[in-house]
Amino acid sequence: MSTVNQLLVSARSGNRRSLAKLLTAIESGQTPVIQQERGWILGVTGPPGVGKSTLIGRMIEYWVSRGETVAVLAVDPTSPMTGGAILADRLRMGDADSTDSVFVRSLATRNHPGGLMPCLGKMTEALSACGWTRVIIETVGSGQSEIRVVAFADRVLLIDGPDRGDIVQAEKAGILELADVIAINKADLPNAQSAAAAVRKALDMGEGPGAQVHLVSAIEGTGVSELIADLESCELEPSRDMLRIRERLIASWDAALLSHSQIKSYLGKIGDGSLTVGEAIIDIGCSLKADGEKL
């Protein structure tokens, strides 16, 4: 039995140290053999500063009080000093991971173009296989990462705040259409009601039933139980399977491209005109195929 599979066996028995090592092994490219159905995976996204981590902390408290076990993969921007995650999101969750029912792992984006690394899929599978009944992916909350979370999560929660001006204009990237549930945090602020109304109006203009919109306050804890009830009961959207596969493929290609041993050489050739972008893509694809055949 390989080391990574030994770690999986140990982690399944409840050894948190083995679980941490298992996730590190997966992040480094190792793949354990997991024979289990996909678990309950929630993607949480939204712009910076709207209280994602604080609200997740409240949700964790609610789930734990009802006997659930919660694992969180908190994706933080890469630190320019260390290359790792600076753990800011984890700190805002307070004492959420101070019990045996909660596990929080911070991950650095490591400059992946989509903000989410392809190993997240295998990590969520491992956490589900180890008995965590609720697995949450918290994105960095900007750009393509808001959309790419659908590659790894069955349910998507968009968290926004009432203090960002025209909220509908701010969320033009498409995440409004992909979110299963939308939470307007900081419900105690004056513009909260109008922000929720604007989002509902925008959703009503689309095709089919729009996402449920909730007013919540992570600080006061109001609206959290209703929000979770909707997340628990929302039906998974079959039409999203093709989008999920597409985003996984793009994430894997990004990772393979950026980790290619000759990437700097290709960039130089494209820069001096000796190679076109199209020729570089074909060449890199052929070399990746050759490496795969050797394996």
| Same domain, yes or no: 202 and 265 | no
The answer to whether residue 136 sits within a structural domain is: yes
| Same domain, yes or no: 26 and 43 | no
Q: State yes or no: pLDDT of 158 exceeds 60.
A: yes
pLDDT higher for 200 or 273? 273
What's the pLDDT at 293?
44
102 in Cβ contact with 70 (< 8 Å): yes
How many domains in the chain?
3
In the chain, the percentage of residues whose pLDDT exceeds 70 is 78
d(CA 193, CA 197): 6
- Could you tell me where the beta strands, DSSP code E, fall in 102-215? 102-108, 134-138, 155-160, 181-184, 212-215
| Same domain, yes or no: 59 and 94 | yes
d(CA 74, CA 108): 9
Mean of the per-residue pLDDT values of the chain: 81
Instruction: Compute CA distances 275 → 264, 279, 280, 284, whole Å.
Output: 13, 6, 6, 12
| Same domain, yes or no: 26 and 98 | no
Its domain, for residue 4, covers 1-33
The answer to whether residue 92 sits within a structural domain is: yes
What's the pLDDT at 132?
96
Q: Where is 44: in which H helix or E strand?
A: strand 41-45
243 in Cβ contact with 150 (< 8 Å): yes
For residue 217, give the DSSP letter: B
186 in Cβ contact with 50 (< 8 Å): yes
List, for residues 247-269, the tens digit of each pLDDT value: 778 777 777 787 788 889 999 99
Q: State yes or no: pLDDT of 49 exceeds 90.
A: no
| Same domain, yes or no: 69 and 113 | yes
Contacts of range 232-239, beta carbons closer than 8 Å, 24 or more positions apart: 234/155, 234/180, 234/181, 236/154, 236/155, 237/180
Mean pLDDT of 143-150: 63
The answer to whether residue 3 sits within a structural domain is: yes
| Same domain, yes or no: 19 and 88 | no
| Same domain, yes or no: 8 and 87 | no
159 in Cβ contact with 44 (< 8 Å): yes
| Same domain, yes or no: 203 and 221 | yes
List, for residues 69-106, the tens digit of each pLDDT value: 999 998 876 554 455 545 555 555 555 556 889 999 98
234 in Cβ contact with 210 (< 8 Å): no
In the chain, the percentage of residues whose pLDDT exceeds 90 is 38
The answer to whether residue 253 sits within a structural domain is: no
| Same domain, yes or no: 165 and 111 | yes
| Same domain, yes or no: 43 and 28 | no
The answer to whether residue 254 sits within a structural domain is: no
d(CA 144, CA 148): 6
The answer to whether residue 200 sits within a structural domain is: yes
What's the pLDDT at 294?
42
Q: State yes or no: pLDDT of 67 exceeds 50.
A: yes
Q: How many CA atoms lie within 13 A of 280 on its CB side?
A: 19
| Same domain, yes or no: 21 and 46 | no
| Same domain, yes or no: 104 and 121 | yes
Q: State yes or no: pLDDT of 141 exceeds 80.
A: no
Q: What is the DSSP string of 58-110?
A: HHHHHHHHTT--EEEEEEEPBPTTTSSB--HHHHHTTTGGGSTTEEEEEEE-T
